[in-house]
Chains A and B, each alone.
Chain A
Amino acid sequence: MSGSALFLAVFLACIVEAVEALTIILAAGTARDWRSAITGLLAGLAVLAVVVAVLGPAISVIPLGALRLFVGGLLLIFGLQWLRKAILRASGHKALHDEAAIYQRELAAAHAANGTSRSVVKDWYAFTLSFKGVVLEGLEVVFITLTFGSNQHNIPLAAVAAIAAVLLVTGFGFAIRAPLSRVPENSMKFVVGIMLTAFGLFWGGEGAGAHWPGSDAALLVLIPVIAVFALALVAVFRGSAPQNQAAAVNLSTRSEV
């Protein structure tokens, strides 16, 4: 269970972040200059590689108890923030994350911006847009991959999950040259929020000195219980949602299935 849960959590989180980064890169490439956008992507990946090279060995040196306390706390905060947004979206209080709309916004902004060239980069705007997208979305991927991997003593499996997700999204994205708006991103964020919260509760508690009944098996209870709790909150807060938002949620849910 731990291995598959680890793989699933990292894979889904990385799919979500990769889809968001891809949208930005596609907008930069389509509206401005593909060569500069891809240079930005490569530069961003290089920065992330440095972060992994520095953080990876550093994380493995930290004692497991301290690591679980620190990482569990951060994962719990991340998970609750993801879950909060997912519940607000699913209950109709916040607009659903729409990659097609974000792509159009980025495209319009990229068209309107002035172009300048610097050294080997022909279009600086396309480069920085692409670079920032990769670094910002990638940092979360790096954090989740390293922390999940080190806590479960299986960084290679976490890395495989992350690389598989990024390659899958990159392959599809560049094949169709369009944002992956049909990926059920909102549902995936909901699942990732549940997983991050469950792992955060488990590791945070263990790191602080609490002992979960059943040890690792407690995760088998935590994940479904958090899912039921989150779905119950969606049902409770859906009642107070504005009419138009609730309708949008219904339509979107149908198209996502």
Chain B
Amino acid sequence: MQQLKAFGAFWYDFVIGDDWRIALGVAIALTATFFLARATTIPLWWLLPAVVIVALPLSIRRAIRPSR
């Protein structure tokens, strides 16, 4: 059981990393792009960069908050 937990923890750390909110933001943006691209004809290339512009500074701010 402990080895299974360690295996799961390794993959979580490998894929998700230090901030799960970044991974969630990317997943939501990709899903939204995927479905919108099939439902509309509007350009959607800007959606992922928009998530990066918002998510990265927020994640850094959250990381430095406890040290203040």
Contact = CB atoms under 8 A, between A and B. Distances in A.
A72 B34 CA distance: 13
Interface string A208-243: 111111000010001000100100010011001010
Contacts of B37: 208-210
For chain A, give the interface size range: 35 or more
A237 B60 contact: yes
Contact of B22 (A77, A88, A222, A237): A77
A240 B44 CA distance: 35
Contact of B45 (A72, A83, A207, A210): A210
A73 interface: yes
A74 interface: yes
B1 to A, nearest CB: 21
Contacts of B61: 237
A209 B56 CA distance: 23
Contacts, number: 100
A229 B52 CA distance: 10
Contacts of B26: 73, 76-77, 80, 204
Given A204-B30, A233-B56, A237-B60, A81 B19 contact: yes
B17 A81 contact: yes
A83 B22 CA distance: 12
A80 B56 contact: yes
A180 to B, nearest CB: 24
A84 B33 contact: no
Interface in B13-65: 14-19, 22-23, 26-27, 30-31, 33-34, 37-38, 43-45, 47-49, 52-53, 55-57, 59-61, 63-64
